Amino acid sequence: MRTPYCPPTQDGGGNVGYAASLFAMVYPNAQIITVEPDKHNFAANKMNTHRFPNVHAVNAGLWDKQTYIDLMAAEVCFGWE
């Protein structure tokens, strides 16, 4: 069985890495970037995702100030290679 193609995936609220770990297991060919600004959550994120070579944890925020954004649902992965 072929693995579905997945574009790079960003976990913008990485927290402690649970979602990134799940994405890494379900989509092992995807490159996952998990971003978490809180240093304590980031430490847990690194600990929880270090076993997945396709997860890249970044200790940062998405914006330089507190703000609100609108999100739209989109398919994460599509088609088969």
Residue 72 domain-assigned (yes or no): no
User: Is residue 63, in this structure, part of any structural domain at all?
Assistant: no
pLDDT band at 81 (very low <50, low <70, confident <90, very high): very low
pTM of the model: 0.72
How many whole angstroms separate alpha carbon 34 and alpha carbon 55?
Answer: 7
Which of the given ranges, 4-8, 28-32, 47-51, 71-75, has the highest pLDDT on average?
47-51
Taking the C-alpha atoms of residue 67 and residue 33, their distance in angstroms, rounded to an integer, is 21
Q: Which domain holds residue 43?
A: 9-58
Residue 4 in any domain: the answer is: no
Residue 81 lies in a domain: no
Domain count of the fold of the chain: 1
Would 49 be classed as within a structural domain? Answer: yes
Q: What is the DSSP letter of 80?
A: B
- Would 65 be classed as within a structural domain? no
Distance, CA of 10 to CA of 21 (rounded, Å): 12
Tens-digit pLDDT profile for residues 46-57: 999 999 999 999
Measure CA 53 to chain center. Answer: 12
How do residues 22-50 score in pLDDT, each as one tens digit? 999 988 888 999 999 999 999 999 999 99
